[in-house]
Amino acid sequence: MTEAVQCYGRKKTATAVAHCKRGRGVIKINGSPIELVEPDVLKFKVYEPILILGKERFANVDIRVRVKGGGQVSQVYAIRQAIAKAIVAYYQKYVDEASKKEIKDLLVRYDRTLLVADPRRCEPKKFGGGGARARYQKVKCVSSPRSFLSV
Q: What is the DSSP letter of 136?
A: P
pTM of the shown model: 0.85
Contact 3, 20 (CB under 8 A): no
SS3 state of residue 17: strand
Q: At 87, phi and psi to the nearest 5?
A: -70, -35
Query: What are 135-144's pLDDT values in tens digits?
Result: 999 988 876 6
Query: What are 48-99's pLDDT values in tens digits?
Result: 999 999 999 999 999 999 999 999 999 999 999 999 999 999 999 998 899 9
